[in-house]
C-alpha cells in the first residue's frame, strides 16, 4: 500500500514543485491514514490545508478508496 501511495505522490509532486513546495511520505498506517510532510513553500503556505485535503487527499482517495485520511505531520 505504501508503494502505491508513493507512486501517487510522485504524480502530484511536479505541481507542488512548480510553486516552490514539495511533499514527503512519512507513513501509511494500518487504519488507512496517510501521513505526509509538506516541505518548502508548502510548509508555510496559508493554503497548505486546502492543497492537502482538496488536492493530495482527493487524488489518493480516488485511486485508493481504503485510505480514510491524509494528514500533515
What is the mean predicted confidence (pLDDT) over 1-23?
A: 94
H or E stretch at 73: none
For residue 42, pLDDT over 90 is answered with: no
Largest Cα span, the chain? 32
> Which pLDDT score, from 0 to 100, does residue 72 have?
94
> Which pLDDT score, from 0 to 100, does residue 44 have?
83
Q: How many domains does the chain have?
A: 1
H or E stretch at 69: strand 69-72
45 — pLDDT class (breaks 50, 70, 90)? confident
For residue 24, pLDDT over 90 is answered with: yes
What is the mean predicted confidence (pLDDT) over 38-60?
A: 91
Which range of residues forms the domain containing residue 11?
2-72
CATH number of domain containing 54: 3.30.300.130
Amino acid at each position: 500500500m505504501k508503494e502505491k501511495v508513493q507512486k501517487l505522490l510522485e504524480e502530484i509532486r511536479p505541481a507542488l514543485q512548480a510553486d516552490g513546495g514539495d511533499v514527503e511520505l512519512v507513513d501509511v498506517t494500518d487504519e488507512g491514514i496517510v501521513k505526509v510532510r509538506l516541505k518548502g513553500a508548502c510548509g508555510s503556505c496559508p493554503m497548505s490545508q486546502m492543497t492537502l485535503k482538496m488536492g493530495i487527499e482527493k487524488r489518493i482517495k480516488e485511486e485508493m478508496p481504503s485510505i480514510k485520511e491524509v494528514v500533515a505531520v
